[in-house]
Chain A
Amino acid sequence: MKTVFKVPQSLTGKEWHYCPGCGHGIIHRLIAECMDELDVREKTVGICPVGCGVLAYEYFNCDMLEAAHGRAPAVGTGLKRVLKDRVIFTYQGDGDLASIGMAEIVHAASRGEKISVFFINNTVYGMTGGQMAPTTLLGQVTTTSPYGRDKDREGYPIRIAEMLAPFEGAAYVARVAINTPANAARAKRAIKKAFETQLNGAGFSLVEILSTCPTNWGLSPVEAMQWLADNMIPYYPLGVYKDKEGR
């Protein structure tokens, strides 16, 4: 039988600072379980974003760095070029990766940088209090799109998985969600594949994870999961967008 509440070795077990029902905690756990199962904790270096995940160094029980806003893929590149046999991952929000850090992520993907990127899409800037993100949906109200995101004013939401998959350097790109146990199980498989892709030296890997921000969405944790299913998945379809190793 699975003991559900056992803390993975790759987590410190420290209590989350995240809001109740926030997706970050769930995703940390999935990543840590994969690190345990692949037995890579001691050879892994993780990179925190600037965003609610900035304190991830408190939670992952491996070497961790904190990067400037959006620059994690560049920092990861530096690490990986020095430490070829280590496992490098970045953990980035949608503001961090798809807005200010767009240049870094595009070039890390195009270089086929052998790092794994976990991209947490919660459609808002969580940490700074719910501003618009590049992934904010059309019509969605945020503190900086107070009249609802409008295509003529704020433009269209960006689909990162679809955008990066065509890059030749990208070896594994998938989009998953954490709104149901079944989806979380799929998310975990994708995270594991991303690590394996890196371990096999196949190239760049990225998993976009649809997550929740109940606080800034103004919803209860349960409502937030439903909102994800009803609004995010239709615009951000789940699936594997690239798998070079063809598994």
Chain B
Amino acid sequence: MARVLMKGNEALGEGAVIAGCRYFFGYPITPQSEVAEYLARRLPQVDGVFLQAESEVAAINMVYGGSAAGARVMTGSSGPGLSLKQEGISFIAEAELPCVIANISRGGPGLGGIQPAQSDYFQSCKGGGHGDYRLIVLAPSSVQEMMDFALLAFDLADRYRTPVLIMSEGMLGQMMEPVQVREPVTERYEKPWATTGCINREPNIVNTLHLLPTELEDRNQHLFSKYARIAAEEKRAEMVMTEDAELVVVAYGLLSRVVKKAITEVRARGVKAGLIRPLTLWPFPDTHIQKCLDTAKLFLTIEISMGQMVEDVKLAVNGRVPVEFYGRIGVIPSPQEIERAIMAVAERGGLA
């Protein structure tokens, strides 16, 4: 199939359609609204349903219902809207309902602004709602990946019966790049647990209430054995020039491409730098980081936040070498700025 020029937000929407998602429940918010607007046009063309909910709280609970009914369901939002969804996400994670949530993120806290940011890392990866639970969190970095990760997200969601969150900087949603449009996904997972009416079977129950103390602990054990399986099998990262890297930079999302460019420049200046780009923010690819510890003398985490993922990098490095941080908010720094930041760290660390 020919390449098509698409916006990131459209590629994500079309990716959902290709993955077999026919239900989107959302509420407008910049810079996510285009995902909703795209699907408002597109879903009726494939007999799907686009519904603008009265709020994000309602939207995520519509997802709860749609997913319990056995369908591939999606919602999307940004910033304050994601905050409102957290109660519902906690319920969905506990009820083990597959669904995909897009966070076309913006800068906070509060109303903040619509400038690019990665400051929802904690919210996404460390449990934004109440209770012990995890989401699979994917971080695309190109318009093609906006489409491909939608397919991946629906697959992982069904395979593990878990909500999957796609986190993209707002700017990636606005960018246009040629996209190789994928073939429609026809594979479907059996969902014998779905509440579809108990014709010829025992009733199914979707429930998150566990009043008996033993039952509550059992549930948590069950969830966490599933999360352990996900962590064992699904950690993903792109490794760029890390084989001999003394200075290992960790960055994700659109930002990682800018970092990649800076790394090639820094290499040309004699610094042995490499890049680890997590594709899964949870499970965090700590094993990929540990693989670099043979040559690495220094790590540098770059984020569009005040420093969130850097905590996971530190946990993975576990004190073996220093971990530095460079961050901005509201802008994606240029390759030139990042090159300066990397050089400064390299010089301080005696690597330049």
Contact = CB atoms under 8 A, between A and B. Distances in A.
B44 to A, nearest CB: 7
Contacts of A146: 37, 40-41
A54 B54 CA distance: 19
Given A69-B80, A154-B52, A131 B37 contact: yes
Contact of A143 (B27, B40, B54, B55): B40
Given A68-B80, A143-B33, A100 B27 contact: yes
Contacts, number: 50
B28 A128 contact: yes
A66 B28 CA distance: 19
Given A128-B28, A128-B30, A131-B36, A144 B54 contact: no
A128 B29 contact: yes
B50 interface: yes
B111 interface: yes
A35 interface: no
A132 B52 contact: yes
A99 B54 CA distance: 5
A144 B36 contact: yes
Contacts of B111: 50, 54, 66, 68
A155 B111 CA distance: 30
A229 interface: no
Report the contact-size class of chain A (Cβ under 8 Å from the partner).
Answer: 20 to 34
The A contact surface, by secondary structure, is loop
Contact of A100 (B40, B44, B54): B54
A70 interface: yes
The listed residue with most B CB atoms (<10 A of its CB), out of A70, A99, A100, A143, is A100
A145 interface: yes
A99 B55 contact: yes
Nearest to A68: B80
B230 to A, nearest CB: 33
Contacts of A131: 28, 33, 36-37, 52
Interface string A157-182: 00000000000000000000000000
A118 to B, nearest CB: 20
Interface string A62-106: 000010111000000000000000000000000100011010000
Interface of A: 50, 54, 66, 68-70, 95, 99-100, 102, 125, 127-129, 131-132, 134, 143-147, 154
9 contacts: A68-B111, A70-B55, A125-B28, A128-B29, A129-B33, A132-B52, A144-B37, A144-B40, A146-B40
Interface of B: 27-30, 33, 36-37, 40-41, 44, 50, 52, 54-56, 80, 111
Given A143-B40, A144-B33, A144-B37, 6 more contacts: A69-B80, A125-B28, A128-B28, A128-B29, A131-B28, A134-B54
